[in-house]
Structures are given as C-alpha cells and as structure tokens.
Amino acid sequence: MPEITSRRGLLFGAAAVSAGALLTGCTSNEPSDSGDEPAGKDQPVADDKPGKQVTIGFAGPQADHGWLNAINDNAKSRAEKYSDVTLEITEGSNDTAQQIGQIETLINKKVDVLVVLPADGKALTQVGLKAMRAGIPVVNLDRIFNTPQAYRCWIGGDNYGMGLNAGHYIGEKLKGKSGARVIELAGLDNLELTKQRTQGFDDALKNYPNIKKVARQAAEFTVESGQAKMAQLLQAQSKFDALWNHDDDQGVGALRAIEQAGRDDFLMVGGAGALSAFQAIKQDDGVLKATVLYPPTMAASAIDLARALGQSKGIGGLAEFEIPSSLTLYSAVVDKTNVDQYMSTGFK
C-alpha cells in the first residue's frame, strides 16, 4: 500500500463509493459514453453541459500492486466520462529520477492541471513546487509532498482511521469475551503509513480492557510475504480470537497459510478493499469477516478535483467558492451487512 507521511485535512464521513459523488455536484458536466469499466467507476456524474476544456496530466508510480493498478484504472475511467477532459498519462515508474522527468515533460507540455501520486513524496517535492511556480495547480494524490506549497490540493486515505476502525470492529465483536487475544499482520515497517495503522489499531483497543494484543508481525504488502509471515504467527500463537491484516493483497497469502494450518477458530479483518476480500466476506464461509477501506476511488476523485481547478469551480455541497486544500477519505468497514454496496469498488 502507498506511503503517506501525514494525516491532513478534512475527514470525509462519506463512504468510499460516494467519494466522487460530493465532488461532482457542481463540477461535473455531461459524461461521454463508455463501455465496460474497471470496478468502482460507476460513481454518479452530473449531466450538466460540458465546460471549459481541461488537459490533466497524470503521473503515478509503477502499478506493481493491485491497489496501484486500481488507482490508474480509476483515473483513466473517470477522465473518459468527461467530454471536456483530456488526460495525459505517463508510464508509471518507481524510479524517482524517471518520474520527475515524466512530470517535467507534462509541465513543458503546459497541461492545465497535474495529478501526481509520487513514488516518494519527499523526493518529488521539488518538481511539485516547479509545477506550482509555473502556474499549474497540482493535485497531490495519497503520498504527500513535504510542503503544502508543492500542491494546491491533497487527497488521500486515512491510515490511522484504518487501524482505528479495524480495532473498534474487532473490539465490538469480542466485547463479551474475557481474556480475548488479538494479533496483527502489519505491512512494511519502514513506512510511516504502517506505523499510523498500528497506532490507530492500538488506540482503538484501549477502549476494550478485556482484549490484549499478543503478537505483531510485519509483512511486505505481497501475497508471498503474507503467507510466510502468517505461517510464522500461526506457529507461534496456538490460540487467539482475532487477526487484523493491514492489506488485502498480502491477505491472499495469509488466508492460504490459515487454510493450510486448518485454522478457523478466530475472525479476521483485512485492509484496503480488494475484490477477493469482498467476495470472501460475502461468501462468509471462512475467517475473513470484514475489511477496512483505503479506497482507490480517490484517483477518480482526484480527476474531479483537477477538472474543478481547471474550470475554476468549487465542490457541490460546500459553500466555499474554492475546493479545499486537503481531503482525507473515510476508512469504512465492509462486512456482510454492506458488502454488496461496495462490491463494484473492489480492486483486483
């Protein structure tokens, strides 16, 4: 999952599937026709007439993770809905110098607005500043630049909120159980986002004195690492009541390890919102009972924000003439009671 070095701005209480809906109330124009779309791109787009033509440059990292691939799909599909938007998209790269070069090319092309998900927010801060100084507003997506001067608007997920909501969900499920034990399968420990997710989880568990976290293991946001690290946890912990796994991609591997160990004596909560997780939750015949969202629909909303900036518009539902400087998306809990609502947003 992506790194974010700070939790900033407004907490949106809206569900992830509605992240784009608020933005489109007064910024959206007539959508263009489109056929089959990636999951999660069916958020409503208003049908008012097209406005000023806007060229949006989009630069992100290499899509080497299901979530990052969904980010690209969301951005492309959202742009295609607008007859007044042209999207200039770069080939994603995890090489900092290469991504800077790609963004500088977009600056030289004089795009109207930039949407940037940096491979490394700190390393790309200077190119964000360069764009802003050239008069090109920047929508900084998820991994944040070092200074607000490098972007006009930041939009991203709530890592602390993921942990908080996962902890509360597990806490409520185990509320009546004396001596409840929980474990945590985290992501990469060198990322600030992982620390934020763990902090949120720990803070939530403070509300449940009957629950003790007895083990934590860091994985690497991959299927392989999830399987290996989960196998280690299962060997070390013969009995526990709940597991929180930070990432649904590594959760695929974790579920394999759980199945191989023949364990079904606990509940599991995932993180991010993969389609495979939604399907398992809906089927409800295994340990995975819920997941907390880190919605890739934020890329669709970033396109809405960029278009609004390019057309000098505000956001429907807010009184201000200008779009906010930051938007933090809500980390909704998805379980069997609401999974059908979110199924179309699941990423592969």
Average pLDDT, the chain: 88
Q: In this predicted model, which residue has the larger pLDDT, 192 or 285?
A: 285
- 318 φ, ψ to 5°? -115, 145
For residue 42, pLDDT beyond 70: no
Given the DSSP bridges, would you call strands 267-272 and 242-245 parallel, antiparallel or unpaired? Answer: parallel
3-state helix, strand and coil shares in percent for the chain, rounded to the nearest 5:
40, 20, 40
User: Of 8-12, 59-63, 118-122, which gets the smallest average pLDDT?
Assistant: 8-12
For residue 338, pLDDT beyond 60: yes
Domains and CATH numbers, the chain: 10-157+295-330 (3.40.50.2300), 159-293 (3.40.50.2300)
pLDDT band per the 50, 70, 90 thresholds, residue 64: confident
Q: What angle do CA 226, 232, 236 make, to 5 degrees?
A: 140
Write the pLDDT tens digit of every residue in 121-141.
999 999 999 999 999 999 999
Question: By C-alpha distance, which of 87, 94, 85, 97 is closest to 117?
Answer: 94
Give the pLDDT of residue 318.
87
* Calpha distance 291→13 (Å, rounded): 17
CA-to-CA dists, residue 271 to 76, 134, 199, 217, angstroms:
24, 38, 15, 15
| 283-320 residues labelled b (16+ CB within 10 A) or e (exposed) | eeeebbbbbbbbbbbbbbbbbbbbbbbbbebbbeeeee
For residue 27, pLDDT beyond 50: no
Other Cβ atoms less than 10 A from the Cβ of 347: the count is: 27
Q: pLDDT over 70 for what percent of the chain?
A: 86
pLDDT band per the 50, 70, 90 thresholds, residue 33: very low
DSSP letters for 34-76: --S--TT-------SPP-S-EEEEEE-----SHHHHHHHHHHH
Give the pLDDT of residue 31.
38
Write the pLDDT tens digit of every residue in 191-243.
889 999 999 999 999 999 999 999 999 999 999 999 999 999 999 999 999 99
Mean per-residue pLDDT, 55-73: 91
Give the pLDDT of residue 48.
52
Output DSSP code: residue 180.
E
CA-to-CA dists, residue 46 to 15, 21, 24, 26, 316, angstroms:
19, 9, 6, 8, 11
User: Of 248-262, 278-292, 310-324, 326-340, which gets the smallest average pLDDT?
Assistant: 310-324
* Calpha distance 317→12 (Å, rounded): 12
Give the pLDDT of residue 87.
98
Give the pLDDT of residue 153.
98
